[in-house]
Amino acid sequence: MLKALYINEPARLALVDDHELAREGLRDMLEDVPELEIVGEAADGREALVLFQRVRLDLVLMDLRMPRMDGLAATRALKQEHPETSVLVMTMHENPDYLLEALRAGAAGYILKEASRDDVVSAIRGVLSGESPLAPKLAATLLRRLAHETPQNILEAAPQRKRDKVLQPLTPRELEVLETLAQGKTNREIAEDFVISVGTVKNHVEHLIAKLGVSDRTQAVVRGLELGIISFPDR
């Protein structure tokens, strides 16, 4: 399920941060990226919920720590109503506990607040094209921790899924690709493992994301773990 960026329309972004200077910095950083369009801003989670009701979004850059409603609660609310919208949380530190909570809430990954413009743009483009913004080692670590929790805890922590989202059966190859996504592998690494083209991998990822009713590959793995259709390697 590729975003607007890949059908010749700008991807629609929102900035959610309680610091005006932070939002201004992101605007300056992203306003000249031709395939991106900033269509809204919010200063806290409650303002963000109003924004989400008014504006169609492809991706949200979400601060974690905000007054009135934090980024985790806002992400859960967004993903419950608009599961097709991706979320990148913004954080000061690579704290695995915070990042694990962000994955549970529905985030695709994170951006460090001190990241360079190139890193921020790369993370955004990665999510919009179906790649993971998480470093492979960190992705595998977080997903392994999630997988080792009890299924009930995973379900309780995850945002409620819309009841009209019916799981379509995955093909055997799609299941194999989903399991490799859980290992944090890139499309190129998956292509090498299965001796197929990167384009074919992208197609498989796009199909399984659509079938699972999620917005990105990270949440596809989380959904697969919730449903018990994939396991995670112990090593």
Per-residue pLDDT reduced to its tens digit, 40-77: 999 999 999 999 999 999 999 999 989 889 999 999 99
Distance from the Cα of residue 2 to its chain's centroid: 13
Q: Which among 105, 8, 114 has a CA at the least distance from the CA of 60?
A: 105
pTM to 2 decimal places: 0.78
Q: Mind listing the domains of the chain with CATH numbers?
A: 4-134 (3.40.50.2300), 140-227 (3.40.50.2300)
Question: Could you tell me the pLDDT band of residue 234, with boundaries at 50, 70 and 90?
Answer: low
Residues 64-122 have pLDDT tens digits of 989 889 999 999 999 998 988 999 999 887 787 888 888 889 999 888 888 899 999 99
Contacts of 83 (CB under 8 A, 6+ apart): 106, 159, 161, 162, 165, 213, 214, 215
Contacts of 152 (CB under 8 A, 6+ apart): none
Question: Could you tell me the pLDDT band of residue 192, with boundaries at 50, 70 and 90?
Answer: very high
- Rounded to an integer, the average pLDDT of 17-40 is 94
Check whether 6 has a pLDDT greater than 60: no
Strands 36-42 and 86-91: unpaired
Kind plus residue range of the DSSP H or E element containing 77: helix 71-81
